[in-house]
Amino acid sequence: MSSLFHAIAASASGMDAQAQRLRHVSENIANADTPGYRRKVVSFQQIAARAGADAPGGVRPSAVDLDRRELPRIFDPGHAMADETGHYDGSNVDLVVEIADSREAQRSYEANLRMFDQVRQMSRALLDVLRR
């Protein structure tokens, strides 16, 4: 029965990590037109199961990194943030990349949710068998 709980914990950690990734992707999309905004990038770290411990492995998001690509220079002399040459720093968010990342995170979240549900159904079936 503990392996079922480990599977639930692993899928829950995956859902939590992907939900956090989706929050950052949506923040990037919301700030795509914000001057000077740098895209936030989330990577994951594996949580290794400790030897001899009764703790499952899983995944967790690491610290949020900022995309260090150069910000595009936009020419708009009438913009409030324009310098003496009429340029200001734009955002390095690429909406196509963000939409692809959001779709990938959503699908991964759904896969973890299906695994969570399958384990829940298996544990329910196991308890039904044990009751008989």
What is the model's pLDDT at position 88?
Answer: 95
Q: In the structure, how many helices (H) and strands (E) does the chain have? A: 2, 6
pTM of the full predicted structure?
0.79
Burial class (CB in 10 A: 0-12, 13-18, 19+), 1: exposed
What is the model's pLDDT at position 20?
Answer: 93
How far apart CA 94 and CA 77 sit, in angstroms, is: 24
Low-confidence residues in the chain, pLDDT < 70: 1, 49-56
Half-sphere exposure of 14 (CA within 13 A, CB side): 22
How far apart CA 2 and CA 56 sit, in angstroms, is: 9
